[in-house]
Chains A and B, each alone.
Chain A
């Protein structure tokens, strides 16, 4: 009997802990309009669909993506997306194709801003960096491979 009640007790506290965890987590996810679904997506297509409702982006030379060919430290890869040549840029998203969660960041522009973003991102391995620009309801993209050399001497 004692063993049984002991088990019951641990089960109850375990359930309570889960409930507390859930209770702590929900407010932040409910209050913020942070696009959790898109950031949790495991593939670039899923992430794009969650952000823009479509993953069909066409390559465009007007989307200027500046990324290093070789990044010696993948944890700070400088990325610049210049879409100032396109009129009516609504949004820019930066994705790293082989990261566990590809969507890195997403910028939405109001009337008072130009389609330009420069930032630094983390990359776990050699992969493609994809910049997606939404302008006039269309999705345009540019893609570039960045070689990440980890722990080496920059070779």
Chain B
């Protein structure tokens, strides 16, 4: 199942602030399951990419210390009509992509 991303963005004077909410547990692998004494297996988003019209603008690497259901905001140079894409993957190989055409 693909990772769910909700994104918003508006261009103002050539700069667009892109905000995204991602649905993901972000399990760091350090949290213990008190019943079994074993840690919950790690599952966190490690790579995030934001591109404008297919050109990579932001390339991020995350650890398990980013909060669960991560919120991310970045600013990119883009005008109305440009297409902004966020694509990401987690350490188990699950991926997610979401695109938005700026207004």
Which residue numbers of A lie inside 8 Å of B, CB to CB?
28, 32, 34-35, 39, 75-78, 80, 84, 96, 99-101, 103-114, 116-122
Contact: A76 with B60, CB < 8 Å?
no
CB-defined contacts of B26 to chain A, threshold 8 Å: 122
Contact: A99 with B65, CB < 8 Å?
yes
Known: A101-B65, A108-B58. A118 touches B78 (CB 8 A): no
Quick one: which of B58, B70, B78, B91 contacts A109, CB cutoff 8 A?
B58
Known: A28-B91, A28-B93, A113-B77. A120 touches B61 (CB 8 A): no
Contact: A35 with B61, CB < 8 Å?
yes
Q: Output the least CB separation between A53 and chain B (Å).
A: 16
Cα separation A120 to B7 with both chains bound (whole Å): 16
Q: Which residue of A lies closest to B72 (CB)?
A: A119
Q: Output the least CB separation between B18 and chain A (Å).
A: 10
CB-defined contacts of A34 to chain B, threshold 8 Å: 46-47, 61, 91
Contact: A110 with B57, CB < 8 Å?
yes
Q: Which of B16-37 contact A (CB under 8 A)?
A: 17, 19, 26, 28, 30
Q: Output the least CB separation between B31 and chain A (Å).
A: 10
CB-defined contacts of A104 to chain B, threshold 8 Å: 62-63, 65-66
Known: A34-B46, A119-B71. A112 touches B65 (CB 8 A): no
Contact: A100 with B63, CB < 8 Å?
no
CB-defined contacts of B19 to chain A, threshold 8 Å: 118
Q: Which of B50-102 contact A (CB under 8 A)?
A: 50, 52, 55-68, 70-78, 91, 93
Q: A118-B71, A118-B72 given. 9 additional CB < 8 A pairs?
A: A34-B46, A106-B60, A107-B60, A109-B57, A112-B52, A112-B57, A119-B72, A120-B66, A122-B65
Known: A76-B67, A103-B63, A121-B65. A112 touches B74 (CB 8 A): no
Q: Output the least CB separation between A49 and chain B (Å).
A: 16
Q: Output the least CB separation between B89 and chain A (Å).
A: 8
Q: Output the least CB separation between B42 and chain A (Å).
A: 11
CB-defined contacts of B70 to chain A, threshold 8 Å: 119-120
